[in-house]
């Protein structure tokens, strides 16, 4: 048994012991406030057991292990339905960037350990109403104000901002240079005067995303985490961390076995749906697709094991998996007829086809929309030339709005 297999077995045994207290069944019927309280206790249990900050330095409270162990644990954790979602963004990107770029090391360590214990949550303030996938097109501005800065603007689709204590933000500090060059990266206190958070209710009934407004919010220069005008490079470093996250060939929806079970119980033209050639073809195609995606994931894991960095192939996984989840969920609803129209806003998307279908579009936008993933695949995997960009090299304030 390899070291990774030993680590996986140990992690799975711990997760199995925690599942009756924190897992999917324990969470049924809880309100979001109750679920968050449970999540904080679970995050503290992870910290105490050595499963928080797995690939972070020991100097800041982490375990000092590799990305491989981190992805291994996250993959195992996913199957138990633990309440880790509230900390996914916080510990996934903002806090690792804080470790790397914050100059006040003592303050940083306090924040990191508080985040690892589930006591504090960070959000990532990137997307805007007029600049979602085009991060460099943002219009929130930070203007020098004495020895500090004054922040004005709006962000949108900010996950868990309503529960966040701090956030990382990219703002435009110089509109007279090309759009990638006039950005600066800061951290912001989400409880500061002038910060307003408004949850957005999604089609699935939840409100985990928000719009956030900044009205003359004061920032000290100590809150700046990039050179002035050098924020885009730090933003890219933030997004690059996403290649070290667990993936799911089911697109974070129900497993294929659940569809097979449904096809056994549903009738189509008076016979079990599973006997229909179209249904069998759908199952076969999904099985082949998911096996292919799992092979890509296995290859990425082997690369990490060999000390290499996974490449852009993760874009394939997200693009194909979530698209196929949406189509399969739609077919599952069709098979159920009128019963498929029943919607439970509290259902888990990995168990319920209607909840999976109605939440799938959110998954196709979050973390990069389909169109951006297609561009990444075209340029980084297939080696095709970049799209024509008429705004390239043009000062931001001269780009038509």
Sign of CA dihedral 170, 33, 13, 289: negative
CB-count exposure of residue 257 (10 Å: 0-12, 13-18, 19+): exposed
Average pLDDT of the segment spanning 77-84: 95
Angle at 44 between CA 40 and CA 48, to 5 degrees: 170
216 by Cβ neighbours in 10 Å (0-12 / 13-18 / 19+) ranks as exposed
CATH architecture of 123-240: Beta Barrel (2.40)
CA distance 102 to 113: 14
Distance CA 370, CA 273 (A): 31
Strand partners, 214: 153, 195
In the chain, where the domains are located: 3-120, 123-240, 247-381
Which CATH number fits the domain 3-120, given the four candidates 3.60.10.10, 1.10.540.10, 3.40.50.1370, 3.40.50.970? 1.10.540.10
Spatial CA neighbour of 236 closest among 376, 362, 70, 122:
376
Closest CA to 310 of 369, 356, 242, 359: 242
pTM of the model: 0.91
What tokens were used for 100?
């790397």
pLDDT for position 237:
86
Region 247-381: CATH code: 1.20.140.10
For 263, counting Cβ atoms within 10 Å of its Cβ (0-12 exposed, 13-18 middle, 19+ buried), the class is: buried
In tens, the pLDDT along 35-72 reads 999 999 999 999 999 999 999 999 999 999 988 899 99
Question: What pLDDT, on a 0 to 100 scale, did the predictor assign at position 176?
Answer: 97
Mean pLDDT of 390-399: 90
pLDDT of 132 reads 65
At 30, is the pLDDT very low, low, confident or very high (cuts 50, 70, 90)? very high
**With pLDDT > 70 as the criterion, what percentage of the chain qualifies?**
99
Q: 73 is written with which tokens? A: 């644990």
**All residues at 6 or more sequence positions from 311 whose CB lies less than 8 Å from its CB, including other chains:** 243, 380, 381
Instruction: Please provide the average confidence, as pLDDT, over all residues in the chain.
Output: 92
Higher pLDDT, 96 or 135: 96
Q: What is the pLDDT of residue 122?
A: 98
Instruction: Check residue 151 and give its pLDDT.
Output: 98
CB-based contacts of 25, cutoff 8 Å, min separation 6: 19, 81
Q: What is the pLDDT of residues 298-353, one digit of tens each?
A: 888 787 777 777 777 778 888 899 999 999 999 999 999 988 888 888 899 999 99
Per-residue confidence at 210, pLDDT binned at 50, 70, 90?
Answer: very high
In this predicted structure, the answer to whether residue 1 has a pLDDT above a threshold of 70 is no
Most confident of 189-203, 228-242, 365-379: 189-203
CA–CA separation, 362 vs 311, rounded Å? 24
Q: What pLDDT score was predicted for residue 246?
A: 72
Q: Tell me which of 369 and 166 has the higher pLDDT.
A: 166
Beta carbons of 112 and 95 less than 8 angstroms apart: yes
Mean pLDDT of 216-222: 97
Tokens matching residue 276: 């229909």
């Amino acid at each position: 048994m390899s070291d990774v297999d030993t680590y996986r077995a140990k992690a799975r045994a711990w997760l199995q012991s925690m599942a009756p207290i924190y897992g999917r069944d324990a969470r049924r019927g809880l309100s979001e406030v109750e679920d968050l309280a449970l999540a904080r206790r679970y995050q503290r249990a992870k910290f105490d057991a050595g499963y928080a900050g797995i690939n972070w330095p020991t100097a800041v409270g982490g375990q000092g292990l590799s990305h491989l162990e981190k992805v291994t644990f996250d993959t195992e954790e996913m199957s138990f339905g633990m309440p880790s979602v509230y900390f996914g963004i916080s510990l996934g990107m903002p806090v690792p960037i804080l470790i790397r770029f914050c100059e006040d090391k003592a303050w940083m360590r306090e924040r990191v350990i508080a985040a690892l214990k589930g006591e504090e949550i960070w959000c990532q303030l990137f997307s805007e109403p007029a600049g979602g996938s085009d991060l460099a097109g943002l219009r929130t501005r930070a203007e020098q104000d004495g020895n500090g800065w004054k922040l004005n603007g709006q962000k949108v689709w900010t996950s868990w901002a309503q529960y966040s204590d701090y956030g990382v933000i990219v703002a435009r500090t110089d509109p007279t240079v090309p759009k990638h060059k006039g950005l600066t990266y800061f951290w912001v206190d989400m409880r500061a005067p002038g910060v307003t958070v408004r949850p957005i209710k999604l089609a699935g009934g939840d409100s985990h995303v928000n719009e956030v407004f900044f009205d003359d919010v004061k920032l000290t220069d100590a809150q700046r985490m990039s050179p002035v005008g050098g924020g885009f490079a730090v933003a890219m470093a933030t997004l690059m961390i996403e290649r070290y996250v667990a993936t799911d060939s089911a697109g974070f929806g129900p497993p294929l076995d659940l569809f097979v079970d449904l096809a056994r119980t549903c009738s189509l033209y008076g016979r079990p749906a599973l006997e229909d050639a179209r249904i069998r073809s759908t199952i076969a195609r999904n099985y082949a697709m998911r096996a292919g995606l799992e092979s890509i994931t296995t290859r990425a894991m082997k690369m990490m094991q060999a000390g290499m960095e996974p490449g852009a192939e993760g874009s394939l996984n997200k693009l194909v998996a979530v698209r196929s989840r949406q189509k399969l969920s739609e077919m599952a609803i069709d098979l159920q007829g009128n019963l498929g129209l029943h919607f439970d806003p509290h259902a888990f998307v990995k168990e319920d086809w209607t909840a999976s279908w109605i939440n799938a579009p959110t998954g196709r936008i979050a973390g990069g929309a389909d169109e951006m993933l297609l561009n990444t695949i075209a340029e980084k995997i297939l080696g095709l030339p970049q799209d024509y960009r008429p705004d390239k090299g043009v000062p931001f304030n001269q780009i038509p709005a």
